[in-house]
Amino acid sequence: MNPLFIRETSDTPKVILDKQKNIFEISGLSLPEDAIAFCRQIFNWIEEYSTNPNNPTTFNFILEYFNTAFSSQIIQILLLLEKLNTKTKVVINWHYKDIDEDMKELGEKYSDIVNVQFVMMPYS
């Protein structure tokens, strides 16, 4: 399976989805004009990955900020990971700056939406 690598821009996050290296990460700022179109390739990759996933699969969200449109796409990603969790162990690491209460609260809110192990990971 080919990895998916999307370079970070001023309005889109860096995405690394690499089964062979066991790296699953979305990081940076996310303000895409068309969040659905941006995330379509992420959804497709996760769906293909789900046919033969690593065990466990640890997915890292290291987002500094994202807009409302991307927030709904995060929920869709989380729902795909919840579905994957029925086939293999999935852990979601939600990284947030230790001074960013809003990002922490969002992670806690998302953790209540899906039945997947969520680890809150503050950093300085």
pLDDT score recorded for residue 45: 98
Confidence (pTM): 0.97
DSSP element (H, E) containing 47: helix 35-49
pLDDT score recorded for residue 10: 97
**Each residue of 46-102: pLDDT tens digit?**
999 999 999 999 999 999 999 999 999 999 999 999 999 999 999 999 999 999 999
Q: Is the dihedral of CA 112, 115, 119, 124 positive or negative?
A: negative
Across 1-124, the runs of DSSP E, i.e. the strands, are 4-6, 14-18, 23-30, 57-66, 90-97, 117-123
